[in-house]
Structure 1
Amino acid sequence: MAAGDVMDQHEQPWSRRRLRSTNERLLLDRLRALGAASRAQLARETGLSKPTVSSALASLEKAGLVHEAGTHAPERGRTAVLYAPDPAAGYALGVDIGRGWLRVAVADLDGSVVARSDVRNRARASAALAGLVVDTARQVIANSGVDPAEVVHGVVGTPGVYDEQRRRVRYAMHLPGWGRAGLVDRMREELGVPLEVHNDANLAALGEYTFGVGAGSRLFAYLLIGTGLGMGVVSEGRLFTGAHGLAGEIGFLPWPGRQKPERLEDAVSGVAVVEAARHFGMSGQLTAKAVFDAARRGDPAAVRAVELEGERIAHTVAAATAVLDPDLVVLGGGVGHSVDLLLGPVRDRLRALTPLRPRIAPSRLGEDAVLLGAVATALDTARELVFARRTAETPAGHRP
């Protein structure tokens, strides 16, 4: 036997089951990293003996967690059967709740989105918003063709921070009434899916780290600039959330306003871009996108508003850099989509503000960052739950 699978003949049955489960989980994790592999390759990768690998693969295949994925014919030797994780063994639900849009997706265990819906958030009351989330999620699950019982875990991204003890979202300033207790419990009950709730900027940071430009970064900060201002921090692949889950709520930093002290969020968000454009002479029905579009056309008032936004973002980056020392700062959210206009002013102003020089890059995921972060986070738990469910022995001693 290899060192990793030594088993004393006098070990208790529960010890043998635990070792067998550990070996199976090790193989499944390696297969997820490799995509597909043969028995011999898995033995080399894990240090387990070939008989142990064969036995564990047989159990995983019987449990519906892996399947044959083709063959490999080497130059010498026999053709080898390749095994891969079965992505249809379970599913995860991701939800992104924003003031303007609600985005919902169902993904298989490989992380591939099998169904998705983006709908306008026209709810003007918290109960209506909770209902919209439930209805949209049900429709997405139905459209996916997946048995709802196979959707084993979900993650919801929302502005603010979820207080587990009080069972409510706090600090969601731009979603009126969203802080009411019981709303998340209602969604869990009506969907029949276990739900976690996380801050949207944190999830965007995880999404960007997993699928986007943040991959491989030692420590990076994701600035979510839209209706509000938030920041997610990923260190060595893990979120940093602070003692109370409030790390990254950079929008609450004070900012010297013209009339009275403001919050940084009031100066940097999309609303601030519109206010600055009006101050410089633009009129009519304005949105942040309209201001940026006008700036691209050379409108002087719009250009000045965008330059001011870049300067304020530079102050935000300087503050974050002084505290965190990130190797990368990602600009995302609605305002971040116009980073082509902002990078110049941000970098110019940053050079005048601080000697610290983090790399600044636009989000690669754009509007999907929060949703994909929710999916990635839900998948971590879903894979654990599916493995535990499918490898659990019945009283008769056979696999389900």
Structure 2
Amino acid sequence: MSYSSLSSVPLSRDASDISIHISNDSSPLLDGALNTVHLVLSTQSKAIAYLANQYRKSDWSRQQMKRALRVMNNGLNAGGKIVVSGIGKSYKIAAKTVATLNSLSVQAALLHPSEALHGDLGIIREERGDVLVLISASGNTAELINLLQYVPECVPVILMSCSRQSQLSRNPRVLAMLYAELPKRLAEKNLYGLSAPTISTTLCLTLLDATSMALAELYMNDLSLRKKRFGDRHPGGAIGAETMKDRAMAFAQLQSSEPASTSASNSLSNSSGDYPEKSVSETSEELAEEDALTMADLVLLNKIRTSNNRVTLRALPENDELEMATLMITYDYILIQGDENEKDDQASSKTHITHALDSKAAQEIYRSSKLQGDDWQETRWKLEEALLEVSM
């Protein structure tokens, strides 16, 4: 069937007979496509949120992760490397993971399962303590099942998969799993009608990124050394330029004979009248039953509590960009007060803070947003995304 009647231009000899020409941006077809974009983005976000909760709440997943990290760390300590293998989209994820590990000074190598059977199996050196990581979303990849037959018995094997029960997960050679659970409600076929690897690949890549960072910190627990090695391996591009700048500033500070100012630390040590001083550990215990915060968030929360240069609002300015810019310049922290209905009756006279914004972080967001031409509404929601949930 030809669709040329629906097009503003006739089909040429090379034109598609399964699509149509769209004459302008107001076409309802584009609205439908935009809905698909939103669907994919929202479901990807939900899947990653689910994955984060999985590793916060699932003892089995956490134990498997700990075992996998231990096996890989011990292999590296023995002088080995991490060999990563997969096929199809998983091979591309494997390639990215290897690149990430090497950039973090964790020795890694990429192995194609088919090429392995034609000589590349020599990449794996069992005498050096190498560890093999297999990536298979289904856990039933025939090429990887076949590959395992020829991997030396003493080589530890770890499986990255979205399926807890599979042929590979049941293989006795697999010592641990990096499990990225994909709920049925978020499976690609149920959402899009196609089993196109999108959500599953995002989960695998995200979990492997997290594993890579954790392994790098475990293997090399000195942050200054990790930063130096990371900079050494990125001499080019934006990272290289940033590294050069940081090292130049550090060198200048070493050469400076001026004593370090203690006013900032003193100001943080003084408690304010409204918010008594609390240590990071006390704050951590107070929020133990809430969503886990990063150490950076806890430090920020402690600084907010002890800062005297803050302002409390009902909400960020809706339409007044100038007011928001003034607030970011004038105050160190912008606090958002919760609704009156959210307050406890016994504490109705107290200010209940639900969110906080670090003005320095806000200024960076504002600057970047303006440089790329965002209007105020675009900028405002980015500032809202930077709000840290607190309870004060």
Do the two structures share a fold, i.e. TM-score over 0.5?
A: no
Kindly name which structure, 1 or 2, has the bigger radius of gyration based on alpha carbons: 2
Higher strand proportion (structure 1 or 2): 1
Shorter-normalised TM range:
under 0.3
Q: Which has the higher helix share?
A: 2
